[in-house]
Chain A
Amino acid sequence: MFDNVLVAIIICVFAVLFVAITCLYRNKKSNFDERQLLARNIAFKFSFFFLMVYCLICGLLHIFNVKWAGTDVQMFLGIIISFALFLAISILKDAFFSNSQKRNMQSIISFFSSGIVSVMFFLSGLGKGDVLWNNSGLSILALYLIASVCSFVLGILSVIKMNLEKRRAEE
């Protein structure tokens, strides 16, 4: 009992420290202009309501005893899809990339690297004999697959958008 409380306190202290440090070192001036901030707000609203509807559907399926995935898989699937939705809408509305070229390249690299890491986890799971669909429904292996697909789609979308932007800026 005491150990559990201690662990919870340690986690809280680390969380507070993390938030304090990120607030201290973050760039106070936003790199996004007013149109981009508005578009990002709309994207955030879409992904938030998607998550709400997703939670509602998951809850209803649980009530009617339809077991399609474990609780942990359901939770992470909702988070991954809603986050990917937010990023995709932001990219499509020209509101994901800031004025910093360096940061834009970093985000493209991070999309592809997270996709590669997810594929590696997926392939290692397949190698161990895991399956996409087991007794409890969708397995964690499917989660890796969906995460990798989302990452690659976002990466490709970003590259296309950046190339289009370069072409239009030259015109």
Chain B
Amino acid sequence: MKNLKLKSARAALDLSQQQLADKVGVSRQTINAIEKGDYNPTINLCIAICHALGKSLDDLFWVEE
């Protein structure tokens, strides 16, 4: 399932995938895979992304049933 929340939060800060990847310390493809829903990141990476975007885990990764 696509993570549109992450994509929109990144776009709101006017960050490219590469810039976010550099901030978090992963490759651009990994950010792309998370946004496309191809890869489920570990909790450590989720927290690092939340810190980089100034959002909470719920804001970016919680999915309502």
Report A's interface with B, CB cutoff 8 A: 33-36, 94, 99, 165, 168-169
Contact = CB atoms under 8 A, between A and B. Distances in A.
A168 B41 CA distance: 21
A34 B32 contact: no
Interface residues of B, number: 16
Interface of B: 16-18, 25-30, 32-33, 39, 41-42, 44-45
Given A168-B32, A169-B18, A35 B25 contact: no
B35 to A, nearest CB: 12
A99 B32 CA distance: 15
A35 B28 contact: no
A34 B18 contact: no
Contacts of A94: 27, 29
Nearest to A39: B39
Nearest to B26: A33
B9 to A, nearest CB: 19
Contacts of A36: 27, 30
